[in-house]
């Protein structure tokens, strides 16, 4: 990315073609490459027919860009694929607040996937565990031979752990460094190779051999600092009881902390709190051709690891500032899988400016924390519906038949009226078109 970075004021006001030009300029992408990649969603029916089964066609989703993102001192334009209105805008706005406080700080302390080998029918789990531990070197060597390509890239199996589950069942974990791959196929190949030998060593019946999506040895940690003054609203939406503009910055910060604490105490609230985080995470995961179902499974399992469902991100006051932290398992890849065939996934990584899986994970998690901040700020002040529904109004306007410049006019009118319904949009559209065809004063009617 060029030195102008990810801060592009007024980007959303630009026409679509100009937005594409600006992003290409910043990301060093030739405009024809972008145009060709995103045409028709980037994947035609013939190509899709080779990716999954029983194909009839393709299903398009919006491909947007989150702005203002700075992670570990580096600016990034972040591709997001999501169908929900306000997600991209909210993440960009929150990233702008975080940027003023120094940006996101992120790390991946270790990056190991887990392959599980289930062993059953064990008479003495202590003896089986001891034997498996004694043959660890042999098992690791066997695991490495199953993935020579990964070894050549500097990855491979790193350790073996044995867990006694009781009831005559032991599970062997092979910890694997998958480098820049998500690693499902690699880890499964290792588990398949190790399984029969592990069963023989443990005098057990061989059960399942597959990776775990609870990749808690491949966690990402993100933190950020937001100055209270940057949380203030620059406008005054109408709201019973007063406007959010009247709220002091420290009141907004305290409201965010209180909302965070609510999620820590109540799993019903934590579920929605974490859904807001995954709005940002999943949008990046999908844009880059990764498996969002695996990411979701791992995130929610990790949130429930203590036996009670907990929030993935928390917010606290630190003097005049607001400090947020997020920790979650996140297994993403920049090679293999959908990336090999989907031109938009390849374009997304080019725009993002990385081919490193850890950097991609840190970016996705940062967008998750940004999305969480935006949601809590809205909930603690004007409520979630106003901003969300204002953006949703554009979809309603289109559903009512608005085209071109009509969309923004109809959307603005129904949002101002507080009636974001297709029927209301249709009435406004009719009024707009009728007025456009009425003769001007002094002009004869035809």
Q: What is the CATH number of the domain that holds 204?
A: 3.30.70.420
DSSP state of 230: G
Residue 404 per-residue DSSP state: T
Name residues whose C-beta falls within 8 Å of residue 194's C-beta, 6 or more positions apart in sequence. 115, 117, 139, 142, 143, 146, 172, 174, 209
Cα distance between residue 8 and residue 305, in whole Å: 40
Per-residue model confidence (pLDDT) at position 2:
59
Q: Residue 249: what pLDDT?
A: 93
User: Per the structure block, which two tokens stand in for 96?
Assistant: 């702008």
**194 vs 143: CA distance, rounded Å:** 6
Residues 258 and 198 in one domain: no
DSSP annotation string for 296-352: HHHHHHHHTTTSS---SEEEEEETTEEEEEEEEE----SBSGGGGT-HHHHHHHHHH
pTM given for the model: 0.88
For 193, the domain range is 113-212
Q: Are 374 and 90 in contact (CB under 8 A)?
A: yes
Supply the DSSP symbol for 161: E
Residues 298 and 336 in one domain: yes
Beta-ladder partners of 318? 321
The alpha carbon dihedral of 266, 268, 271, 275 has a sign of: negative
Angle (CA) 291 176 181, round 5°? 35
Q: Is residue 315 part of a domain?
A: yes
Instruction: Judge whether 4 lies within some domain.
Output: no
Same domain, 102 and 197: no
* 130 and 33 belong to one structural domain: no
Which alpha helices (DSSP H) does 353-421 contain, by range? 357-379, 384-399, 406-417
Which residues does the annotation mark as catalytic?
A: 84, 275, 291, 388
Q: Is residue 135 part of a domain?
A: yes
Please list, residue by residue across 81-90, b when 16 or more beta carbons sit within 10 angstroms of its beta carbon and e when fewer do: bbeebbbbbb
Residues 359 and 265 in one domain: yes
- Please state, in angstroms and rounded to a whole number, the distance separating the CA atoms of residues 207 and 170: 10
Name the token pair of 321. Answer: 């500032």
Same domain, 371 and 241: yes
Within a domain: 31:
yes
Whole-number pLDDT of residue 393: 83
Taking a C-beta distance cutoff of 8 angstroms, is the pair 402, 429 a contact?
Answer: yes
Same-domain check for residues 378 and 395: no
In this structure, the answer to whether residues 252 and 366 fall within a common structural domain is yes
Contacts of 60 (CB under 8 A, 6+ apart): 40, 41
For residue 310, give the nearest of 294, 293, 320, 325 by alpha carbon: 325
Please name the helix (run of DSSP H) or strand (run of DSSP E) that holds residue 253, with its range, or none.
Answer: helix 249-265
H helices then E strands: how many in the chain?
16, 10
Averaged in consecutive runs of 10 residues, what is the pLDDT profile of the chain (446 residues)? 82 94 96 91 88 93 97 98 94 98 97 98 97 98 98 97 98 98 96 98 98 98 98 60 70 96 98 98 97 98 98 97 98 86 93 97 98 96 64 83 88 85 91 80 58
Provide the token pair at 323. Answer: 């400090």
Domain end marker among 382, 407, 428: 382
> Is the domain of 73 the same as that of 161?
no
pLDDT of residue 241: 43
Q: Pick the last residue of a domain from 187, 212, 237.
A: 212
Number of domains present in the structure of the chain: 3
Paired strand residues for 78: 66
Do 395 and 251 belong together in one domain? no
Instruction: Quote the CA–CA distance of 78 and 41 in Å, as a whole number.
Output: 18
User: Are both 181 and 309 inside the same structural domain?
Assistant: no
Q: Is 94 part of any domain?
A: yes
Last residue of a domain, one of 347, 365, 382: 382
202 within a domain of the structure (yes/no):
yes
Give the CA angle between residues 229, 67, 91 to the nearest 5°: 65
- How many CB atoms are located within 10 Å of the residue 126 CB? 10
CATH number of the domain residue 38 falls in: 3.90.770.10
- Are residues 340 and 240 part of one domain? yes
Q: What's 383's DSSP letter?
A: -
Which residues lie below 8 Å from residue 372, measured CB to CB, with a gap of 6+? Answer: 273, 276, 277, 280, 313, 324, 326
Query: What are the CA-CA distances from residue 322 to residues 45, 139, 227, 285, 393 (Å)?
Result: 48, 48, 6, 27, 32
């Amino acid at each position: 990315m060029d030195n102008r970075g990810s801060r592009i004021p007024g980007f959303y006001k630009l026409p679509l073609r100009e937005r594409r030009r600006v992003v290409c300029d910043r990301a060093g992408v030739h405009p024809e490459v972008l145009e060709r990649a995103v045409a028709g969603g980037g994947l035609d029916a013939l190509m899709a027919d080779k990716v999954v089964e029983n194909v009839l066609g393709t299903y398009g989703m919006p491909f947007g860009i989150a702005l203002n993102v700075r992670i570990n001192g580096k600016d990034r334009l972040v591709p997001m694929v999501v169908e929900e209105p306000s997600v991209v805008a909210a993440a960009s706005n929150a990233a702008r607040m975080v940027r003023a406080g120094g940006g996101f700080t992120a790390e991946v302390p270790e990056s190991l996937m887990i392959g599980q080998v289930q062993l059953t029918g064990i008479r003495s789990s202590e003896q089986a565990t001891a034997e498996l531990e004694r043959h660890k070197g042999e098992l690791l060597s066997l695991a490495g031979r199953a993935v020579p390509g990964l070894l050549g890239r500097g990855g491979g199996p790193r350790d073996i752990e044995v867990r006694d589950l009781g009831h005559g069942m032991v599970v062997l974990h092979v910890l694997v460094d998958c480098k820049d791959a998500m690693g499902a196929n690699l880890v499964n190949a290792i588990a398949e190779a190790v399984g029969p030998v592990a069963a023989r060593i443990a005098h057990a019946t061989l059960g399942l051999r597959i990776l775990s999506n609870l990749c808690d040895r491949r966690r990402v940690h993100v933190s950020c600092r937001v100055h209270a003054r940057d949380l203030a609203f620059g406008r005054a939406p109408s709201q019973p009881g007063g406007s959010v503009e009247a709220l002091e910055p420290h009141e907004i910060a305290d409201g965010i902390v209180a909302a965070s604490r609510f999620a820590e105490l109540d799993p019903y609230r934590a579920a929605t709190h974490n859904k807001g985080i995954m709005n940002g995470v999943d949008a990046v995961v999908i844009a880059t051709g990764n498996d969002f179902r695996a990411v979701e499974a791992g995130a929610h399992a990790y949130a429930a690891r203590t036996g009670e469902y907990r929030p993935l991100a928390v917010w606290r006051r630190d003097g005049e500032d607001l400090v947020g932290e997020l920790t979650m398992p996140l297994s993403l890849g920049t090679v293999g899988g959908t990336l090999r065939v989907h031109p938009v996934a390849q374009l997304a990584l080019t725009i993002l400016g990385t081919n490193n899986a850890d950097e991609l994970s840190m970016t996705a998690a940062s967008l998750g924390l940004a999305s969480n901040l935006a949601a809590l700020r809205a909930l603690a002040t004007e409520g979630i519906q106003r901003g969300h529904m204002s953006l949703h109004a554009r979809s309603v306007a289109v559903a009512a038949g608005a085209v071109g410049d009509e969309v923004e006019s109809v959307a603005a009118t129904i949002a101002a009226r507080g009636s974001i319904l297709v029927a209301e949009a249709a009435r406004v559209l009719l009024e707009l078109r009728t007025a456009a065809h009425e003769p001007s004063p002094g002009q004869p009617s035809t």
